[in-house]
């Protein structure tokens, strides 16, 4: 009897563990606008086009208030059970890797273009990016702070929660004090909105986007080609419908050469607890097309970002 009770207890414990869902990871960064306003930007050559991106290194090293505000917000979020990823630590680790890469490049004589902005986002693999912005307003001798904190889903780039407002003007308070007041004033509302986003995400899944393209191929295959009496376009749509949470997706464009899916709701995590991104879903569709449908041409998956992937049929 005692043995049976022990087995039952162990089984129920395992069931509880498997029912738990991994917490989303949050990372806070100064907003692009904040960095631009203060000149913390760097330019990159992106295939001939000059791209301006935030320079987080300069921002953290040169702005005195940024570290203070981020640590204040981090404290509040940790108290709510969501410790924030430390963007400064991520950057330091990236900078070490970049230095190692530069040494290697020196030996080989080659050059690789990297930028901290893209790397910090890719490496941190945060589910949500919290973008922080504030502005100090001076009206005569009075000073006030306009504060804005906005959370973006790293997968869909959609804004999911925000808190914004201007604090009380003050004659004597220092900027740091005004910022502290602003954080205390707006974090409750922000957290409540974030909580409602989490509830929504658990129920409806994560949103990703998926594009399917057909390139010229030797088999003259396109999305209207039939397999077992069914057009490829319908086969793909059926697969997407079967592999989304509540069959929720939006097919915004479809013709014989391309399909564009938006708002594809996929489960948050796979059976091993790993976050499911757009490239994982695209990979599964690729396997299905190759193994089950047995397409006679190659299928390639391109990862555009955490929440966007492209499947190319007829190219390798």
Partner 1 sequence: MKKFLTIALALLICISASADKKNKKATQAYKYEIEKIEAGAASNGVQAVYVQSYMNNIKNADQVCRRNAVHGVIFKGYSGRGDYHPALASDPTAQQDHKEFFDAFFADNGDYNKYVASTSASGPQYVKIKKIGYKVGLVVYVNVAALRRDLEKAGVIKGMSSMF
C-beta of 46 vs 195, nearer to partner 1: 195
- Burial of residue 171, with CB atoms counted within 10 A of its CB: 0-12 exposed, 13-18 middle, 19 or more buried: exposed
Query: Could you give the 3-state DSSP secondary structure of residue 89?
Result: helix
Q: What is 43-78 written as a DSSP string?
A: EEEETTEEEEEE-HHHHHHH-HHHHHHHHHHHHHHH
Q: What is 167-193 written as a DSSP string?
A: ---BSS--HHHHHHHHHHHHHHHHHHH
Q: Which residue in the set 184, 250, 255, 292 belongs to the binding site for partner 1 (CB under 8 A)? A: 184
Q: Does 168 sit near partner 1 (CB under 8 A)? A: yes
Q: Which residue in the set 62, 89, 188, 256 belongs to the binding site for partner 1 (CB under 8 A)? A: 188
- In whole angstroms, the minimum distance from the beta carbon of 169 to partner 1 comes to 10
**What is the token pair recorded at 111?**
């050059």
Per CB under 8 A, contacts with partner 1 among 75-114 are 79-82
C-beta of 21 vs 252, nearer to partner 1: 21
Strand partners, 161: 151
The residue range among 16-24, 210-218, 291-299, 301-309 that interacts with partner 1, by the rule CB under 8 A, is: 16-24
CA dihedral for 215, 218, 220, 221, sign (positive or negative): negative
**What is the token pair recorded at 36?**
């631009």
- In whole angstroms, the minimum distance from the beta carbon of 131 to partner 1 comes to 19
- In whole angstroms, the minimum distance from the beta carbon of 129 to partner 1 comes to 17
Site string for partner 1, 17-36 (x = CB under 8 A): ---xxxxx------------
Q: Which residue in the set 186, 210, 307, 309 belongs to the binding site for partner 1 (CB under 8 A)? A: 186
- Spacing of C-alpha 4 from chain mean position: 45
Query: Which positions lie near partner 1, rule CB under 8 A?
Result: 20-24, 79-82, 165-166, 168, 177, 180-181, 184-186, 188-189, 191-192, 194-196, 198-199, 202
């Amino acid at each position: 009897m005692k043995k049976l009770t022990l087995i039952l207890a162990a089984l129920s414990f395992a069931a509880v563990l498997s029912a738990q869902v991994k917490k989303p990871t949050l990372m806070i960064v100064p907003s692009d606008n904040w960095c631009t306003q203060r000149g913390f930007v760097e330019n990159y050559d992106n295939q001939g086009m000059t791209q301006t991106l935030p320079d987080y290194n300069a921002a953290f090293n040169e702005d005195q208030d940024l570290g203070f505000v981020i640590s204040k917000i981090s404290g509040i979020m940790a108290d709510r059970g969501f410790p924030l990823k430390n963007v400064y630590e991520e950057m330091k680790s990236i900078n070490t890797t970049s230095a190692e890469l530069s040494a290697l490049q020196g030996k080989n004589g080659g050059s690789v273009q990297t930028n901290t902005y893209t790397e910090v986002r890719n490496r941190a693999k945060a589910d949500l990016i919290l973008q922080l912005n504030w502005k100090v307003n001076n009206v005569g001798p009075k000073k006030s702070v306009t504060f804005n904190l906005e959370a973006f889903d790293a997968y869909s780039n959609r804004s999911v929660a925000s808190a914004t407002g201007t604090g009380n003007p003050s004659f004597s308070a220092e900027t740091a004090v005004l910022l502290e007041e602003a954080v205390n004033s707006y974090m409750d509302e922000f957290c409540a909105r974030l909580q409602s986003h989490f509830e929504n995400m658990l129920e409806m899944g994560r949103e990703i986007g998926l594009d399917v393209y057909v390139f010229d191929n030797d088999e003259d295959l396109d999305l209207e080609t039939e397999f077992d009496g069914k057009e490829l376009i319908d086969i793909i749509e059926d697969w997407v419908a079967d592999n989304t949470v509540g069959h929720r997706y939006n097919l915004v464009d479809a013709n014989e050469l391309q399909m564009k899916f938006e708002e594809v709701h996929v489960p948050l995590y796979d059976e091993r607890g790993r976050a499911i991104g757009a490239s994982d879903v695209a990979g599964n569709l690729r396997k299905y097309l190759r193994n089950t449908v047995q397409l006679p041409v190659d299928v390639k998956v391109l990862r555009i970002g955490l929440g966007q992937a492209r499947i190319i049929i007829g190219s390798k």
